[in-house]
Amino acid sequence: MNAMSKQQLLSMLVEPAETKLLLIVLDGLGGLPVEELGWRTELEAARTPNLDELARRSALGLAYPVGHGITPGSSPGHMALFGYDPIECEIGRGVLEAIGIGLELTENDVAIRANFATAELRNGSWIVIDRRAGRIPTDECKRLCELLQSSVERIDDVEVIVRPVKEHRFVVVFRGEGLGDSVNDTDPQVVGAPALTPKGEDEPSERTARLAAQFIERAAELLRNEARANFVLLRGFSKVPKLPSMNELFKLTPCAIAVYPMYRGLAKLVGMKLIEVGGESISDEIEALRTHYGEFDYFFLHIKPTDSRGEDGDAHGKVKVIEEFDEHLPRVLELNPDVLVITGDHSTPSVWRAHSWHPVPFLLHSRWVIPDSDASGFNERACAKGMLGHFPMIETMSLMLAHGGRLQKFRA
């Protein structure tokens, strides 16, 4: 049975219930052994008494976001967690960023996720020195976006929309007729390499690529005197897909608690209500969860810094984020959700400094689990021996629905 037919089966079997389902995603949670941590992963090195105690009352496993050996982006991992086939339901990051910051996109728009970057012009090519421009402050990003927007309102007959996101990230939207989104990223993904030239796979996309090339050229001219953010990299060219909502598929009333716009955009695409958070800390997010706990039956709570510290190669920083979450976990457990899953959308080992293909530690807690009572705690090696085994991440939704008493029996 393939993944799509499994989704259809769940939709057929699901029935409403009064149970509460909570999914907590520590972005990029999984890691690899690090020498400076005594050849332990960040999760193994972190002091997590609350997670470890919970692990021994829960079922553990390792989840594969897409498949063995396949390194996922953030979108495929989250789509799988939400019960959507990450291969069939491909969503570009540009759309996610744009929707996440509140932009209303039309069917003619092409949205692009952009980075301010540091680059040097050498022999006619822009060589990328820092793909994130030193993670400039968000206020600086806003200033630069205002500069670009006021100077590049249109290219030919196409409207150009530029909006800040967070730190070095911003969004570009091309609004016009006859545009395609099959355009390559211009980010080479490594430093010391030239920025890539945008190219389209068909005529509508080639038109978009030409617009992108003009935008990059004009941006470089406008940013030429900036010390750090003197160049732009464009990624995730995309148009709005049409997806069934989680309410339609699973009879859930879902909400999302997330700070970063991309994850808010992804949640909105599958029909989640976006909850405003009073700040950007883990504590602020958990307080938002507690405030709105009576209003919904499915909660997605996203924590970003685990991934950011992994991408920065900061093993100790990632450990600190995990420990900070552990300190606040009792406030979550006080809510007594019927089903609680704690996992990641992918692995981001600090030694790798990027997403990787490694499976993700997975914890499932409900009154119906067979607990891994002998587990050493919540970490990669303990999860590798857990009751849930090694499984595709798309099975998360069926596990949560079943443990929440929301699935009828399949046939006689």
Contact 332, 24 (CB under 8 A): yes
Whole-number pLDDT of residue 3: 46
Q: Enumerate long-range contacts of 196-200, CB under 8 Å, 24 or more apart.
A: 198/234
Strands 339-343 and 21-26: parallel
Residue pair 20/337 in contact by the 8 Å Cβ criterion: yes
Q: Are strands 360-365 and 59-64 parallel, antiparallel or unpaired?
A: antiparallel
CB 159 within 8 A of CB 177: no
How far is residue 393's CA from residue 409's CA, in Å, rounded to a whole number?
22
Structural contact between residues 311 and 354, judged by C-beta atoms closer than 8 angstroms: yes
- Give me the sign of the Cα torsion angle 37, 39, 44, 47: negative
Each residue's pLDDT, cut to its tens digit, for the chain (412 residues) gives 454 467 888 999 999 999 999 999 999 999 999 999 999 999 999 999 999 999 999 999 999 999 999 999 888 999 999 999 998 887 888 998 898 888 889 888 999 999 999 999 998 899 999 999 999 999 999 999 999 999 999 999 999 999 999 899 999 999 999 999 999 999 999 999 999 999 999 999 999 999 999 999 999 999 999 999 999 999 999 998 888 999 999 999 999 999 988 898 889 889 999 999 999 999 999 999 999 999 999 999 999 999 999 999 999 999 999 999 999 999 999 999 999 999 999 999 999 999 999 999 999 999 999 999 999 999 999 999 999 999 999 999 999 999 999 999 998 7
Cα 96 to the center of its chain, rounded Å:
9
Structural domains in the chain, CATH included, are: 3-90+243-403 (3.40.720.10), 97-238 (no CATH)
Per-residue pLDDT at 324: 98
The span from the CA of 412 to the CA of 410, in Å, is 7
Which of 387, 362, 388 is CA-nearest to residue 373? 387
> Do 54 and 365 meet the contact criterion of CB atoms below 8 Å apart?
yes
Residues 160, 216 contacting (CB under 8 angstroms): no
Q: State how far Cα 66 lies from the chain centre.
A: 14
Helical H segments across 2-135, by residue range: 3-13, 42-45, 49-55, 74-81, 93-100
pLDDT for 5 equals 67
Q: Quick one: pLDDT at residue 282?
A: 97
Task: Detail the DSSP E strand segments found in 307-366.
Answer: 339-343, 360-365
Q: What is the per-residue pLDDT for 57?
A: 98
Predicted pLDDT at 1: 46
Give just the sign of the alpha carbon dihedral 383, 386, 390, 395.
Answer: negative
Q: Please report how the helices 3-13 and 396-403 are oriented relative to each other, as an axis angle in degrees rounded to 10.
A: 20
Q: How far apart are CA 168 and CA 133, in angstroms?
A: 7
Least Cα distance to 62 among 374, 395, 403, 389 occurs for 389
pTM here is: 0.81
Could you tell me the two tokens for 375?
């587990």
Structure tokens at 218: 């004009």
